[in-house]
């Protein structure tokens, strides 16, 4: 897994190539396959060098053979040209950050199954140098304006990590490895029990929570010293330096019990303090979330993302707020815009702020003056901007997805003009594939509400032909489908399905009123909107009303459960990581805070909890349903799928349960992702298309992991 970083100059002349594919002659494009999905390179996180000449970014690649993924850091000229790999194959590297003087690139990586640490590579070449050696993993890093310090985020070390660090020092001094062996022996013993005393005691991909918190530390590059600058029974995150390098702004929930609310605020602390942040300045006082601070270059302002209606939590629009850096009256700049914002960046003159807006099934880069007013879109259109980097001179490098192309890095000159794609990580593969173009459509719901969504017809669709149709309610519920490349959807379309991706009420990007329309009323208006897209597809003449399937993940799985308890129109269903008896998830999943805000405590508001439980309507289900999930998912635990499977099995209905070992809510193991896709296609092939092939292919196995 771990590796030795190569000389930058050698890497430039001996760049490791991406997998290449033989060029297809014109007219011989082929459908996308499941295996193609794992050849797609995930390009992300552009970072412009201070002189705006280079863009560093990460590329994640997947190996089905080795059943793992790996991330490397690359660099490409902003003006376009050959991409250069900065880190070699063999281990993952992430979070590249340019030093403000442009000399270095810092990043996070680990070697020899060790901890994730900060590494430094000279832009002109040379070996990478490990900067930090902390007992615990380094979570993130931010350069100081003078390039002499880094602000790091570290979680409090465990007893075992501290012991390992002490033994490591003793081993170096004593010249033996008995300390390391001792630690290994201790790890081999039975684990100690978890002792829980927090209200929020569990989180997916972490498990049970203790009292260890994340705090800010300053690392001095010259002295190689580490100084803790915040502390307490709180989690501190998202640090940004003041332009003069004297202070840090950060996000933290410092209420009396952070587990009981979402009241994060923006705080500032002096970077040279010696009291671990005992004296802080509170910048915001809004009772809802204030997060993601950005400090203006002139030092006068701190902009941040703010939710002003805490009782609406995720349903509330995330606005752009701004406050004086010295404290004072806050202003909300985007209230009339009514679209959620993220990723704030000040222009060099401090007079305007760039941000990403979630709007109408897209994410665009927008800009607004610090006094408010008109919003412009430097990067607009039907596309998906995931992240971007803004140079002082005005250039923008952005990670952009399009319906017909996975993420690549695009360059926008300071003077504006057309976007130019400057990375080509997936060109060779995309040149082989015949894809569904995808369409963004509008239709009316039962009560007359206008709803939008994306639809994908088979790539070789013949106008007027009716084809099997696959409805895919999205997760969330506060989320949406966007103008992005979706390999799974393309795979389904390549297998002859029209795929429907509705953005029903509850979806983000259409205003707060639209979003909160399903607040404490799941499976009602969103059900109507989802079904309206099915009716639209039938009316348009391409959806076969006798060959309909429905599936979803997370809240999409919950929507699937709601749908099949209310209609028998679907021939097959797949519920992936869902829940249908919410009462039993209380205290077992990670959402007790959300549940109590939206639904009330279950013993105090049982009627509502029961109303929103499709489990109690399981006798109405006649649709053959496949239930799936990961066995260590604490987001939507597998118990939700188990209960629905058990109920349907008890009733003698057609059903199956597939549990993936070692998987969280979002699967990590490539072979499991492939298996899940193959099972879904087989299930719908049998029940929706009516193929003679079995719903569970024998080669995949059906029980006991066989």
Q: What is the pLDDT of residue 176?
A: 55
In this predicted structure, what is the pLDDT of residue 684? Answer: 98
Q: Bridge partners of 384?
A: 363, 401
Q: Tell me the two tokens of residue 469.
A: 């149709």
Q: Cα(180)–Cα(187) distance, rounded to whole angstroms?
A: 11
Please name the residue that has the structure tokens 């003698």. 652
Alpha-carbon torsion, ordered 307, 394, 405, 426, to 10 deg: -120
How far the first Cα of the chain sits from its last, in Å, is: 28
Closest CA to 501 of 461, 527, 472, 540: 472
Helices 555-564 + 525-539 axis angle, to 10? 70
Helix (H), strand (E) at residue 420: strand 420-421
Q: Taking CA 700 as the corner, what is the angle to CA 697 and CA 703, rounded to the nearest 5 degrees?
A: 100
Contact by Cβ (8 Å): 578, 644: yes
Distance of CA 424 to CAs 14, 192, 397, 399, 405, Å? Answer: 18, 49, 14, 12, 10
What are the start-end ranges of the E strands in 564-633? 572-576, 625-630
pLDDT digits (tens, 9 = 90+) for 73-131: 999 999 999 999 998 888 789 999 999 999 999 999 997 678 999 999 988 777 788 99
Tell me the C-alpha to C-alpha distance, in Å, between residue 148 and each of 220, 223, 663.
6, 10, 41
Domain boundary assignment for the chain: 435-695
Q: How far apart are CA 568 and CA 620, in angstroms?
A: 8
Confidence (pLDDT) at 706:
47
pTM, two decimal places: 0.92
Q: Encoding tokens for residue 268? A: 């500032």
Predicted pLDDT of residue 7:
28
Closest CA to 51 of 114, 100, 106: 100
| Cα–Cα nearest to 97, from 88, 81, 89, 86 | 86
435-695: CATH topology: Rossmann fold (3.40.50)
Residues of the chain with pLDDT under 70: 1-27, 112, 169-189, 702-706
- What pLDDT score was predicted for residue 201? 87
Smallest CA-to-CA distance from 628 within 519, 553, 704 is with 553
Distance CA 519, CA 315 (A): 8
Q: How does DSSP classify residue 191?
A: P
What's the pLDDT score for residue 25? 58
C-alpha to C-alpha distance for 61 and 69, rounded to whole angstroms:
6
> Looking at residue 210, what is its pLDDT?
87
Do residues 250 and 236 lie in contact, with contact meaning Cβ atoms separated by under 8 Å? yes
Whole-number pLDDT of residue 173:
61
The region, left, alpha or beta by phi > 0 then psi within -120 to 50, assigned to residue 350 is: left
Please report, for residues 141, 508, 527, 601, the alpha-carbon distance to residue 447 in angstroms, rounded to integers and kept in the order given.
Answer: 50, 20, 12, 31
Closest CA to 269 of 289, 240, 298: 240
Residue 3 has a pLDDT of: 27
């Amino acid at each position: 897994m771990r590796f030795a970083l190569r000389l930058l100059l050698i890497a430039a002349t001996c760049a490791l190539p991406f997998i290449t594919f033989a060029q297809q002659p014109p007219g011989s494009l082929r459908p996308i396959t499941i295996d193609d999905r794992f050849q797609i390179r995930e390009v992300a996180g552009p970072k412009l060098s201070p002189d705006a000449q280079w863009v560093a970014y990460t590329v994640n690649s997947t190996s089905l053979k080795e059943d793992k993924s790996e991330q490397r850091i690359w660099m490409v000229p902003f003006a376009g040209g050959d991409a250069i790999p900065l880190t070699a194959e063999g281990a993952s590297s992430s979070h590249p950050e340019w030093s403000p003087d442009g000399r270095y690139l810092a990043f996070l990586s680990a070697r020899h199954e060790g901890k994730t640490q900060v590494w430094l590579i000279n832009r002109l070449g040379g070996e990478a140098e490990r900067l930090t050696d902390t007992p615990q993993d380094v979570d993130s890093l931010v350069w100081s304006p003078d390039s002499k310090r880094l602000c790091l985020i570290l979680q409090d070390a465990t007893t075992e990590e501290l012991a390992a660090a002490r033994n490591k020092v003793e081993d170096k001094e004593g010249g033996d490895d008995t300390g390391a062996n001792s630690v290994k022996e201790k790890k081999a013993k039975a684990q100690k029990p978890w002792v829980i005393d927090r209200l929020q005691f569990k989180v997916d991909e972490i498990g049970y929570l203790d009292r260890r918190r994340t705090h800010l530390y300053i690392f001095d590059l010259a002295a190689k010293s580490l100084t803790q600058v915040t502390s307490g029974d709180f989690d501190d995150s998202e640090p940004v330096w003041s332009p003069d390098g004297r202070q840090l702004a950060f996000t933290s929930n410092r209420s009396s019990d952070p587990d009981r609310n979402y009241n994060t605020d923006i705080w500032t602390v002096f970077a040279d303090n010696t009291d671990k942040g005992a004296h802080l300045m509170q910048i915001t006082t809004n009772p809802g979330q204030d997060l993601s601070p950005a400090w203006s270059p002139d030092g006068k302002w701190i902009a941040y993302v703010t939710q002003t209606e805490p009782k609406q939590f995720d349903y509330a629009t995330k606005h752009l707020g701004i406050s004086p850096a010295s404290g004072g009256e806050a202003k909300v700049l985007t209230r009339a815009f009514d679209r959620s914002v993220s990723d704030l960046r000040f222009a060099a003159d401090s007079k305007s702020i760039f941000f990403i807006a979630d709007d109408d099934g897209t994410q665009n880069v927008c800009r607004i003056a610090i006094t408010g007013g008109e919003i412009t879109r430097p990067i607009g259109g039907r596309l998906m901007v995931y992240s971007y980097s803004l140079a002082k001179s005005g250039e923008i490098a952005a990670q952009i997805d399009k319906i017909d192309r996975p993420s690549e890095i695009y360059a926008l000159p300071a003077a504006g003009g057309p976007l130019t794609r400057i990375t080509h990580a997936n060109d060779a593969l995309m040149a082989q594939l015949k894809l569904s173009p995808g369409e963004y459509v509008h239709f009316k719901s039962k009560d007359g509400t206008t709803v939008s969504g994306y639809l994908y017809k088979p790539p070789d669709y013949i106008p007027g032909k009716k084809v099997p149709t696959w409805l895919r309610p999205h997760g969330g519920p506060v989320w949406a489908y966007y103008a992005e490349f979706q390999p799974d959807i393309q795979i389904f379309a390549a297998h002859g399905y029209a795929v429907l991706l509705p953005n029903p009420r509850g979806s983000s990007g259409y205003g707060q009123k639209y979003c909160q329309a399903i607040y404490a009323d799941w499976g009602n208006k969103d059900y109507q909107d989802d079904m309206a897209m099915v009716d639209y597809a039938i009316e348009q003449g391409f959806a076969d009303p006798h060959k309909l399937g429905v599936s979803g993940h997370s809240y999409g799985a919950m929507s699937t459960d709601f749908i099949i308890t209310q209609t028998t129109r679907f021939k097959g269903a797949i519920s992936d990581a869902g829940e249908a008896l919410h009462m039993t998830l209380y205290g077992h999943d990670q959402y007790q805070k959300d549940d109590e805000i939206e639904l009330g405590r279950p013993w105090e508001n049982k009627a509502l909890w029961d109303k929103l439980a499709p489990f109690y309507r399981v006798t109405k289900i006649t649709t053959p349903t496949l239930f799936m999930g990961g066995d260590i998912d604490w987001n939507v635990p597998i118990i939700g799928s188990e209960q629905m499977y058990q109920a349907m099995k008890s009733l003698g209905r057609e059903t199956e349960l597939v549990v993936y070992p070692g998987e969280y809510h979002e699967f990590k193991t490539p072979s499991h992702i492939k298996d899940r896709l193959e099972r879904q296609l087989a299930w719908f092939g049998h029940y929706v298309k009516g193929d003679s092939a079995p719903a569970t292919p024998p080669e995949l196995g059906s029980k006991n992991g066989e």
